[in-house]
Amino acid sequence: MNASSDIVAKKLAADEPIYGLTQGFGPLVLYSAESEMEQGSSLISHLGTGQGQPLDPETSRLVVWLRLNSMRKGFSPVSPEFWDKLADLWNRGYTPAIPRHGTVSASGDLQPLAHAALSYTGVGEAWSRGADGRNVLKPSREVLGELGTEPFEWPVREALAFVNGTGVGLAVSILNQRSAVRLVRAAAALSGRLARLLRANPEHYEDGIGVARGQVGQRRAAGWIRRELPEDLTRDPARPLQEPYSLRCAPQVLGAVLDQLEHAGEVLLREANGVTDNPITFDDEVLHGGNFHAMPVGLASDQIGIALQMAVYLVERQLSLLLSPSTNGELPMMLTPRAGRGCGLAGVQISATSFVSKIRQLVYPASLTTLPTNGWNQDHVPMALNGANSVAEALEFGWLVIGSLGLGVAQLEAITGQEPESSGVWSELAGISPPLDEDRPMGAEVRAAGGLLDTTAATLLAEEGS
């Protein structure tokens, strides 16, 4: 950081123009600037136009960590002392409130990051952890005071390096990618449990099928499914030799989704370890470029959304297979033990169908909605955070579909008398959704099942080193 700052100081001493330091911002680059402090204040103030509910504290802390990580690489002309001040506050738990809407993610996530920067000046809000462990929003000046710190101003170099970054869309996308991988893991476990209870043809999940094709994700997904199958499982003669595709091709679908998520994760990891502000220093020069353009994040986020939809749709189709006598082995329609008097999981299925439709609306690629702005300076923009926010919402619905199939599995066990082991996720699931002796509201059960399967998937992935 010292070397980068020295390069800029030499260029300034030689009266060389540098964006944001000697010149204005965006289309105002044609005009000269004078005061570093005034420039810094002007930058973050005019960008304080974000809207919407703030990101949750976990995401906000990741945002700031990502910006700190980028700024410390030695390409950003920031003061080490100023960086240390920000890092110290992060380590002590200071977490700015960051609005989730209002950026096109082209010169970085300007508006959300400006609100984060303003928080350190005592403007806006920050998260504070109460005695009960819950996070609450308070005026940022008050939260800084709780930490024994006075609000402070941003010099223009540090302000520019902080807000000219892709950290907000990146943080949301990283967490989305992790959640989507957990969802695929949960879907694989449910697929295996369903195949076991129905005594479907276990050949569908043999490793040899994956070896023949050579797709990494497919073999991994099939292995996850096989983990739920007893070694001595044989096909019920009443079941078809080849199950419908939602069950037979689960390794192929979930594996393809997994491969896409892994690729997106690799792109996001590179971005997390890269430098995304402007200008930067390199080999004793100040370089003006566009690393703040979040196209890598935007396309990765869109990729996550599209892949997610495929996994969730597979799960919804498995729920449909489970509820129809023509595919569930002539069990009662909707798995109700009181056909005619009861409706079983009919309501659960209808809601799951609605959730899939909503997901499809949400995961339309945001990168396809680019619009010019900023006086035609930003004439190509990625809309990365818009897309990431939508994928985050889609994931909430995705876990509800996972929970819906979880209820289906629990009711299948009950109606066929195949009680789960005395402990483990399937036993816990049976406790969440006991037998449907009579119809009851099941919305809370869907949410609880989705949460249980999310937690279980995280545990399984950790055990498997994934």
Q: Alpha carbon of 73 to those of 82, 98, 174, 255, 272: distances in Å?
A: 15, 24, 20, 36, 11
Query: Per-residue pLDDT for 34 more than 60?
Result: no
* The pLDDT of residue 28: 47
Domain of 450? Answer: 171-463
Which residue has 């462990």 as its token pair? 133
Q: Alpha carbon of 56 to those of 110, 137, 222, 332: distances in Å?
A: 18, 10, 35, 43
Measured distance CA(265)–CA(258) in Å, rounded: 10
Mean pLDDT of the chain, nearest integer: 94
Question: Cα–Cα–Cα angle for 139, 144, 145, nearest 5°?
Answer: 95
Judgement on whether residues 327 and 379 belong to the same structural domain of the protein: yes
Judgement on whether residues 179 and 153 belong to the same structural domain of the protein: no
Q: pLDDT tens digits for 403-434?
A: 999 999 999 999 999 989 888 999 999 999 99
Query: Per-residue pLDDT for 99 more than 70?
Result: yes
Q: Which of 148, 165, 182 is the last residue of a domain?
A: 165
Mean pLDDT confidence for 338-349: 93
Contact by Cβ (8 Å): 162, 76: no
Contact by Cβ (8 Å): 288, 279: yes
Q: How far apart are the first and last CA of the chain?
A: 35
Residue 345 — φ and ψ, nearest 5°? Answer: -95, 25
Measured distance CA(435)–CA(410) in Å, rounded: 8
Q: For residue 192, which of 180, 183, 205 has the smallest C-alpha distance?
A: 205
Q: Which of 165, 199, 220 is the last residue of a domain?
A: 165
pTM of the shown model: 0.95
Judgement on whether residues 133 and 191 belong to the same structural domain of the protein: no
Q: For residue 309, which of 386, 395, 191 has the smallest C-alpha distance?
A: 395
Judgement on whether residues 178 and 88 belong to the same structural domain of the protein: no
Mean pLDDT confidence for 369-377: 92
Measured distance CA(311)–CA(260) in Å, rounded: 11
Q: Alpha-carbon torsion 260, 262, 265, 269, what sign? A: negative
Measured distance CA(394)–CA(354) in Å, rounded: 12
Q: pLDDT tens digits for 184-230?
A: 999 999 999 999 999 999 999 999 999 999 999 999 999 999 999 99
Element (H, E) at 399: helix 384-416
3-state helix, strand, coil split of the chain in percent (to 5) is 60, 5, 35
Judgement on whether residues 108 and 218 belong to the same structural domain of the protein: no
Contact by Cβ (8 Å): 438, 418: no
320: left (phi over 0), alpha (psi -120 to 50) or beta: alpha
Asked, as a colleague might, if the bond just before 279 is cis with ω within 30 of 0, I would say yes
Judgement on whether residues 375 and 431 belong to the same structural domain of the protein: yes
Contact by Cβ (8 Å): 38, 133: no
Mean pLDDT confidence for 262-276: 98
Contact by Cβ (8 Å): 329, 239: yes
Q: Which three-class secondary structure state does DSSP give residue 123?
A: coil
Task: Tell me the helices (H) and strands (E) count for the chain, helix number first.
Answer: 17, 7
Residue 99 — φ and ψ, nearest 5°? Answer: -65, 150
Q: Torsion over CA of 116, 122, 123 and 127, rounded to 10 degrees?
A: 60
Judgement on whether residues 397 and 271 belong to the same structural domain of the protein: yes
Measured distance CA(384)–CA(229) in Å, rounded: 40
Query: Per-residue pLDDT for 269 more than 50?
Result: yes
Q: Which amino acid is at 333?
A: M
Query: Per-residue pLDDT for 17 more than 90?
Result: no
User: Model confidence at 309, in pLDDT bands (50, 70, 90)?
Assistant: very high
Query: Per-residue pLDDT for 443 more than 90?
Result: yes
Q: Which residues, in sequence order, are bridge partners of residue 128?
A: 136
* The pLDDT of residue 423: 87
Judgement on whether residues 157 and 180 belong to the same structural domain of the protein: no
Judgement on whether residues 262 and 277 belong to the same structural domain of the protein: yes
The percent of residues above 90 in pLDDT, for the chain, comes to 84
Judgement on whether residues 298 and 373 belong to the same structural domain of the protein: yes
Measured distance CA(148)–CA(417) in Å, rounded: 62
Q: Which three-class secondary structure state does DSSP give residue 222?
A: helix
Measured distance CA(231)–CA(234) in Å, rounded: 9
Q: pLDDT tens digits for 117-147?
A: 999 999 999 999 988 989 999 999 999 999 9
| CATH code: domain of residue 118 | 1.10.275.10
Q: Which residues, in sequence order, are bridge partners of residue 163?
A: none
* The pLDDT of residue 31: 40
User: Model confidence at 260, in pLDDT bands (50, 70, 90)?
Assistant: very high
Give the number of other Cβ atoms within 10 Å of residue 132's Cβ: 6
Least confident of 72-76, 206-210, 298-302, 395-399: 72-76
Measured distance CA(270)–CA(382) in Å, rounded: 18
User: Model confidence at 43, in pLDDT bands (50, 70, 90)?
Assistant: confident
Measured distance CA(77)–CA(286) in Å, rounded: 9
Q: Which three-class secondary structure state does DSSP give residue 17?
A: coil
Query: Per-residue pLDDT for 24 more than 60?
Result: no
Q: Which of 6-15, 72-81, 362-371 has the highest mean pLDDT?
A: 362-371
* The pLDDT of residue 20: 67
Q: Which of 117, 135, 165 is the last residue of a domain?
A: 165
User: Model confidence at 26, in pLDDT bands (50, 70, 90)?
Assistant: low
| CATH code: domain of residue 398 | 1.20.200.10
Least confident of 8-12, 361-365, 375-379, 438-442: 8-12
Judgement on whether residues 245 and 331 belong to the same structural domain of the protein: yes
* The pLDDT of residue 176: 99
DSSP state of 127: E
* The pLDDT of residue 191: 99
* The pLDDT of residue 6: 84
Query: Per-residue pLDDT for 30 more than 60?
Result: no
Judgement on whether residues 193 and 108 belong to the same structural domain of the protein: no
Q: For residue 69, which of 244, 275, 264 has the smallest C-alpha distance?
A: 275
Q: Which residues, in sequence order, are bridge partners of residue 274?
A: none
* The pLDDT of residue 14: 80
Query: Per-residue pLDDT for 318 more than 90?
Result: yes
Question: How many structural domains is the chain composed of?
Answer: 2
Least confident of 1-10, 94-103, 161-170, 223-232: 1-10
